[in-house]
A and B are shown apart, each in its own frame.
Chain A
Amino acid sequence: MNSPFTEPMSRRRLLQGLGLAATAPLLAACVGPGQSSTNNGSNAVTGSFDWKKAKGTTLKVLQTPHVYQQTYQPLFKEFTDLTGIEVVADLVPEADYYTKLNTELAGGSATHDAFMMGAYWVWQYGPPGWLEDLDPWINNTAATGAEFDYPDFFEGLRTSMKWDFKLGDAAGTGGTYALPWGFELNNIAYNKTVFDQKGIKPAETFDNLIQLAIDLTDRGNDRYGIAFRGSKSWATIHPGFMTQLAREGGKDYEVKDGKLTAAMNSQVAVDFTKKWADLAKKAGPTSWTTYEYPNCTGDLGDGKAMMVYDADSATYPKNVKGASKMAGQIAWHPGPAGPGGSMATNLWTWCWGMNSKSKNKLAAWLFMQWAAGKDAMNKAVQSGAFADPVRQSVFNGTFKQTLGGFPGYLEAFEAQVPEAKVLFTPQTRFLETTEDWAVAVQSIYGGADAKTTLDALATSNTNKVNS
């Protein structure tokens, strides 16, 4: 008698079996991803607003260790006293944070009800339906207290949380997918003591900045002119690079015939990128291609970097007494204006997103509402390290009172904030295409021809964003 255990499996039977086995994942994959959540829980919340409406809930939030997170950690107890909601915060270092979050959301997990994120993530997490649309929550008076005052958030921040998921449409259209929490403008923080000793002032044009940074570089004494990010990451592009590129007249994409066309290879962009890479080489940190913002601000605080072109709220803590070697000696400048006097500034927000799969949406919304509320934010600012609160009332009140001996900080902020917004074009491949951009800048730094490299990048990115 024939037996499957005594007879070798024929090639045909093996292939038949494998073919059948292959159909299962194929079919599963065809219906699995990309489904959006349409069940918004805000409709279920009725009656008058009460902080205790979700009393007894345990809320899980995902955070990355950051000044904002650290200033709010001690305040969580007040939230629990106010609402009866326990908050369990899981912390993941920033280098791995988005990998963790991406994996969790892509897997449809409801482990974390709310999470810290950046505005750019609205473009990634919004279209597949991973984020809750917050407009119904904001507009529901049973779920949102009268003191919440949504228009109190800076306008550029409110618009950067919104998108309609249509390629070519600007941010500010569509639903609201996150709540601003803290934000940052990109500008120059510099070692005022050294500048004063040498009798120099911050540069007002990009060419002058390059010269100044080179002049301040003294490798023999482990001192260099300017620090900015250079690692193989989207994060290399968005602070100083994007800000100065925009001031010089460059853009990421243009809309042509209803399609996005990459513009990072325009003549302006090529000239600028070449200068930027050259600046990194002549006056930047030696291991620039591994540099992230903590390296930059760390070098400023240690007195190694004379200037930093990065987020103001990231350099701010280094000037707090006892926080660094150079504390009390750092000053701020808006950075070089563009040829037409442009002060275009790319802004970054840390914000709160709600997991659309969360089973504790009301509790999550109460938490987000409290975290971005006036009371908690005023207290966070009073702690001394929370810079750039997202509410105009808190900025103009408590924050200005605590600023004290931070020379130029407020002036730089006020010079930049009118032109500050998210300067990138919303698109779903932001992370991938911007990382490719960082790789191109690294290659140019390594000696590759700027025009050829950026042309190849533009072709590739145009294909990617329109595919």
Chain B
Amino acid sequence: MSTRQHGAMRSADDTVGGRQAPTVSPARRKWRPYILSIPATVILIGILYPFVQGVGYTFLNYRATEGNVHFIGLSNYLQVFTEPLFWGSVRTTLVFAIVATVLETVLGVIIALLLNRSSLIGKIFEKVLILPLMIAPVIAGVIWKLMFNPQFGILNHIFHLGSTFDFLSEGRALWSIIMVDAWIYTPFVAILVLAGVRSLPKEPFEASAVDGAGWFYMFRRLMLPMMWPYILVAVIFRFMDCLKVFDIVYVLTQGGPGHATSTLQVNAYINSIINFNYSGGATYMFILWIIVYLTAQQLVKLLGRAQARAAGSEA
């Protein structure tokens, strides 16, 4: 049997909607993957190039105001790791990230559970809840800075704290910033968890109710395990965001008083933009990237396990 087919063998699968698929020449077939991958390659270069350049800076003594830029190996890392400021920043960043995430998660879950009950007030609150998310964090920071002002701020007035109580003093600044972060982002957690709660199957709860289980038992043994993947997604988002917090900290305190609220991002900004020390700033950023990357990996693994467990509990 002879065939007049060129190139690849045709088969019955080479039909589209019952019609014969157009023939693709070998040359086009060879280049098509390259052409189709151009947009992704451009995007990848757009992400990779600045990243690689930034990492490259960490091995230089690059200061914008000084010449004689040269390779200095790991000196930037050695300097950063021996600075008390760096370790202070790591501590501040972690305290902020952990406390803010826990606070926002707990409050978010409580709010989600309250809103899950169908009522008019709940529906109104559901709409109102997203308002803080509509405000840019920088603007929220400015608003809170005014509210924190001891002389004319509304908080001192409402709580009768007098004009000597300063929310942004050395011992309180970090907690005040956490409070502002919670104000902005708790609704995000609440909305995410609420979506999860509403997607849970009703049958296990009805069965438990028939067996006489109480609300707390059902919450602990049924709802929480099934909600856990949704909560973890919120935790991952918030924890990653908190690790790289900058805007509200800079607006409220610029990392002060002293170094009380100096997070890794704030120090990177001050190094790079204020002090022209591009290499120092890049070193801070790269270390932060490593921390975020490793933490994200662990949290995603945790999420996978939680999802598997939740699937088991549903079955």
Contacts and interface: CB of A to CB of B under 8 A. Distances in A.
B199 interface: no
B62 interface: yes
A448 B52 contact: no
B144 interface: no
B72 to A, nearest CB: 11
Contacts of B256: 231-232, 289, 439, 442
A34 B67 contact: yes
Interface in B30-67: 33, 37, 48-49, 52-53, 55-57, 59-60, 62-67
B253 A232 contact: yes
A290 B153 CA distance: 14
Contacts of B55: 22
Q: In this complex, which of A127, A432, A445 has the most chain B Cβ atoms within 10 angstroms of its Cβ? A: A432
Contacts of B145: 290
B151 A286 contact: yes
Interface stretch (A98-106, A257-265, A390-398): A98-106
A32 interface: yes
Given A106-B276, A289-B256, A432-B277, A32 B69 contact: yes
Q: In this complex, which of A21, A125, A231, A233 has the most chain B Cβ atoms within 10 angstroms of its Cβ? A: A21
Contacts of B168: 287, 289-290
Contact of B65 (A124, A231, A286, A442): A124
Contacts of B66: 33-34, 127-128, 428
Interface in A61-100: 98-99
A32 B68 CA distance: 10
Contacts of A289: 166, 168-170, 253, 256-257
Interface size bucket, A side? 35 or more
Contact of B274 (A21, A432, A442): A432
B169 A446 contact: yes
Interface string A159-191: 000000000000000000000000000000000
Interface in B236-284: 253-260, 270, 273-277
B70 interface: yes
Interface size bucket, B side? 35 or more
Contact of A287 (B53, B149, B259, B276): B149
Interface string A1-16: 0010100000000000
A222 interface: yes
A106 B64 contact: yes
Contact of A443 (B53, B259, B276): B259
A25 B53 CA distance: 5
A287 B152 CA distance: 11
A220 to B, nearest CB: 8
Contacts of B273: 99, 102-103
Contact of B64 (A3, A128, A232): A128
Contact of A219 (B71, B149, B162): B162
B225 interface: no
B257 A25 contact: no
Given A29-B56, A128-B67, 9 more contacts: A30-B69, A98-B274, A128-B65, A286-B151, A287-B148, A287-B149, A289-B166, A289-B168, A443-B170
Interface of B: 33, 37, 48-49, 52-53, 55-57, 59-60, 62-71, 145, 148-151, 162-166, 168-171, 253-260, 270, 273-277
5 contacts: A5-B37, A22-B53, A30-B71, A102-B274, A442-B256
